[in-house]
Each structure stands twice: as structure tokens, then as C-alpha cells.
Amino acid sequence: MRNTGAALVWCPFPDRETARATAARLLDESLIACANIVGEIESIFEWEGERSSGTEIAVLLKTTSERLEEVVSRLGELHPYDTPAIVGWCCDQAYPATLDWLMLQTRPTLQ
Amino acid sequence: MRNTGAALVWCPFPDRETARATAARLLDESLIACANIVGEIESIFEWEGERSSGTEIAVLLKTTSERLEEVVSRLGELHPYDTPAIVGWCCDQAYPATLDWLMLQTRPTLQ
Amino acid sequence: MRNTGAALVWCPFPDRETARATAARLLDESLIACANIVGEIESIFEWEGERSSGTEIAVLLKTTSERLEEVVSRLGELHPYDTPAIVGWCCDQAYPATLDWLMLQTRPTLQ
């Protein structure tokens, strides 16, 4: 059923400014069409054998399945954490006008 | 591994009332079983060559993989934007009671 | 394109304390590596022929595709609702360091 090219990436950031700046870079580089900054989340996690918790800013990034791998990789370079939590998935459906917009905004720009 | 029929749709709305009203219509039409109005998000996006940002209300809609395409299409008709950002994906797992509920609530009603 | 082992589970809870306690149990049992408590959501849904709405606390749990089915099942046991809304999906991409961390934290511990 995966007949569409939309894709999403979920990634928390340490703060809203970092989230905004990183989203802007990915937009500048035509890797995403949109960032939904979902807002403040409470994260509970295991890190090097220790239970930790903290407040982060969650972001959902919108791109295409063609660009997904590049977005995850580039986001890993831009993110301030050494081990950012970046995961992405392909969508099975997108509204036609949505998909047109995603593809238009993320088409590779001639260098 | 995709042995289940659950599916999710992510879609931002201009405001909460529009989100509620649209969710109610999709529930009335037995296209979804539930809408999680996640709440206010900050969207940063490209539109016709311009960088824009704004506040929206994000909603996660729950349906089945069988109804997913219809939900995306019908949502596109109901949504106030000309180019709404509607994407949906099939889930690989659902708790059995969850799946029973989703299938019960979205079974086609005899016209 | 599903060449990775990351997976996500979305599940609302009645309140934050229950969400935190359940996440902690899943972390204790090495079933997840992280819980993002997204926060308060407004849910509109059909239940036994009645339209209902209410406030819940939404959580996004991070695990691997290998553990996904166990997480959904165990979460169903731990959740206070008789019919919790638990859905999970495999991701197509994850940042390498993210995937290493997910796999490390969710590797079966010798009983």
C-alpha cells in the first residue's frame, strides 16, 4: 500500500531555538518542506546504565521518502547531541496536494 | 511484519474549533474511531518560495489501514486549507482490543 | 526501504503519573529505551455507540522493530484501561547512533 512519497522524522531538541535553527537549515537545503514544532515534552530514558529524565522540544519534520535518508543523516550532523534520537518513517498515504508540495519543496536544487 | 489494520493520520488545522468539527464529521461518517488533538504547534515551512511560520493545532487521527485512503481523501475535502498537510501511515502492531475497537468503529455503515 | 530496527508506539494515558510509572516499568524490563511524554491531548472518540471526549496524556515510546510486538503486548497488560489505544510502527530510517542506543537498551537481559 506504500504508493506515496511522503515521509516524517521525529526528533527532540534541547530547546526551541535550536529546533527552529535546525529546521531552518533543513529548509534552506531543500531537505524538508515543513517542521511542526510540537513543543515541550518530558523524556524518560536510559543512558549508559542510568535512568534519566528531562525536558525537550519535540519536532516532526515533513519530507519525501526519497529524501528521508538524507534528512536523517544531515540532521545528525546539525544536532547538538552526540547521540540524538532521530527516527523516520515513510507514509502510506498523502493528500495529492500535500505530496505535490512536499516534492516541490524538496526537489534537489542544482548546485 | 505489517500484520495489523491500524493506521494513523497526522494533520494540522488552523484552530481547535475547526479541528474538533472536522474530527466530529469523520467520526459521524465512521471513517475514524478517535481523534487525538495534540494541541498547539509552531509550524515553519516553505510556501511558493517564501519561508513562513505560524501556529496551528495538530491532530492525530486513528483509523484502519482499510479506511486510510478514504480518510485522507475525505479530510482533504473537509479541510479549510487549499493545500492541507495530510499524511497517513499503516501501523505494524496494535493491541488486539485496540484493533477490534478501530475496526468496529470504522466498519462501513449500510447506506 | 525498511532497513532499520527502530520502532515507535503511540499510547494515551489517563494521567501523567500513570504514564510515568508505566514508562518506568517498560524501561526496567528493557523493552523500550525512551518515553517521550508529549503531554496533554484532547481525545474525541466513539465508544459503544456513544460520542465521548476527554483529556489524556499522550506518550511516544521508542524501541526496536524486534521488540515492538512485546512492547505493545506488555503495555496492554500494564495499562489501566480495559481497551487502551496502543498502536506501533516500524521506522524506515534511524540515525546510526540512535539505532545503536535503541538496540543496546532493549537487548534481552539474561534471566
CA angle A77, A79, A82 (to 5 degrees): 85
Q: What is the pLDDT of residues B2-53, one digit of tens each?
A: 555 999 999 999 999 999 999 999 999 999 999 999 999 999 999 988 999 9
Contact at CB, B89 and A94, closer than 8 angstroms: no
pLDDT of residue A4: 53
Nearest chain C residue to B24 by CA distance is: C44
Enter the DSSP assignment of C3. Answer: -
Mean per-residue pLDDT for A60-82? 97
Residue C26 has pLDDT above 60, yes or no: yes
Name the C residues in 55-74 with CB < 8 Å from any A CB.
Answer: 60, 62
Contact at CB, C6 and A44, closer than 8 angstroms: no
Judging contacts by C-beta atoms under 8 Å, the chain B residues touching residue A100 are 83
Q: Which fold has domain C6-104?
A: Alpha-Beta Plaits (3.30.70)
Enter the DSSP assignment of C6. Answer: E
Residue extents of the structural domains in chain B: 6-105
Q: What mean pLDDT value characterizes chain B?
A: 94
Residue C4 has pLDDT above 70, yes or no: no
Do residues A95 and B73 lie in contact, with contact meaning Cβ atoms separated by under 8 Å?
A: yes
Specify the CATH class of B6-105 in words: alpha beta
Judging contacts by C-beta atoms under 8 Å, the chain A residues touching residue C39 are 39-42
> What is the complex's ipTM, to 2 decimals?
0.95
Residue A77 has pLDDT above 60, yes or no: yes
pLDDT of residue A38: 98
SS3 assignment, position B64: strand
* Residue B108: band (very low, low, confident or very high) from pLDDT cuts 50, 70, 90: confident
The rounded distance, in Å, linking the Cα atoms of C63 and A50 is 17
Q: What is the pLDDT of residues B61-77, one digit of tens each?
A: 999 999 999 999 999 99
pLDDT of residue C110: 56
CATH 3.30.70.120 holds for A6-99: yes
Option in B7, B58, B86 nearest A94 (CB): B86
C-alpha cell at A79: 544536532
Q: What is the pLDDT of residues C55-111, one digit of tens each?
A: 999 999 999 999 999 999 999 999 999 999 999 999 999 999 999 999 999 998 755
